[in-house]
Homo-oligomer: A and B are copies of this chain.
Amino acid sequence: MRSQVHSSTQMAGEPTTMSRENLSRTERKDLTRASLVRAALHLIGEGRSFTSLGIREITREAGVVPNAFYRHFGNTDELGLALVAEMGQTLRRLLRQARQTGQAQDVDLLRRSVQVYQAYVKLNRLLFLFISSERSGGSRTLRVAIRHEVSHFTSEMAQDFRRMSDYSDLSTAHLQMICGLVVTTMLAAAPEMLDLPEDQPLLEAEMTETFVQQLRIVLLGAANWRPKANRVGSALHP
């Protein structure tokens, strides 16, 4: 009942370029490693959740034999860590682009940033799908790795906030807290954007509007907010 490809070694995933020659061994290795990562992402795109992916499933999609997996990762979690690392780079790129977009004097910085974000989410659909589901779903290892990456992202954003006049007199911890709120809102919006049907620009525009309003409220609240004296330790500010 199943097609049972009779052992043709080629026809791998998609090596992006038809090249498999003139490459050093390490280059070849990194290439199939990348194809494993891509295979996992592709399966996520098909609706499978990363946690439930199996080694055989991934290697089949990547066009290699199951055992080859172990030449690159000890288990699926390690592959997940590779995906997390990729997400880290993506987030850094996003922040950089948002920064230079914001540098040009803009009438509506927030809205512009939201558009950049939205474009990024759509462009890196599978990656955001991955982190959305594994952020509180999968193995503990993966969760802490993602959380670490996200908090790093939050810190960078906090540094950007420091340069903005409305928030420059807040303590680092408070900036972190505020950016945490912003990031939470952003990450929560991602899966909703991804679940949207492709051919419904109205819904999308409506969602964007809601998203912009929410962030505006957060920023407005943050600008008007003054920390109260009673902190948790309450020993600060003697």
List A residues at the B interface (Cβ < 8 Å): 47, 49, 51-52, 132-138, 140, 143, 174, 177-178, 180-181, 184-185, 187-188, 191, 195, 202, 205-206, 209-210, 213-214, 216-222, 224-225, 227, 231-232
Contact of A221 among B47, B174, B220, B231 (CB under 8 A): B220
Instruction: Choose one: B134, B184, B220; the contact of A137 (CB below 8 Å).
Output: B134
Question: Are A195 and B143 neighbours in the complex by a CB distance under 8 Å?
Answer: yes
Q: Which of A132, A140, A184, A209 has the most CB of B within 10 A?
A: A184
Kindly list chain B residues whose C-beta atoms are within 8 Å of the C-beta of A218.
Answer: 181, 217-218, 221
Decide: B137 and A137 in contact? CB cutoff 8 A. yes
Evaluate contact between B225 and A138: CB separation under 8 angstroms: no
Contacting residues, chain B, for A132 (C-beta < 8 A): 136-137
CB of A140 within 8 A of CB of B47, answer yes
Q: Is the CB of A224 within 8 A of B232?
A: no
A217 near B213 (CB under 8 angstroms)?
no
User: In the assembled complex, how far is the CB of residue A176 from the closest CB belonging to chain B, in whole angstroms?
Assistant: 9
Q: Are B177 and A213 in contact, CB atoms less than 8 angstroms apart?
A: yes
Known pairs A132-B136, A177-B213, A224-B224 / 18 extra A-B pairs, C-beta < 8 Å:
A49-B51, A49-B138, A51-B137, A52-B52, A133-B138, A134-B137, A135-B191, A136-B137, A136-B191, A174-B213, A180-B214, A181-B217, A184-B184, A188-B188, A202-B232, A205-B232, A216-B221, A217-B221
Instruction: Please report the C-alpha to C-alpha distance between residue A146 and residue B54 in the assembled complex, in whole angstroms.
Output: 26
Query: Are A209 and B231 closer than 8 Å at their CB atoms?
Result: yes
Q: Is the CB of A210 within 8 A of B180?
A: yes
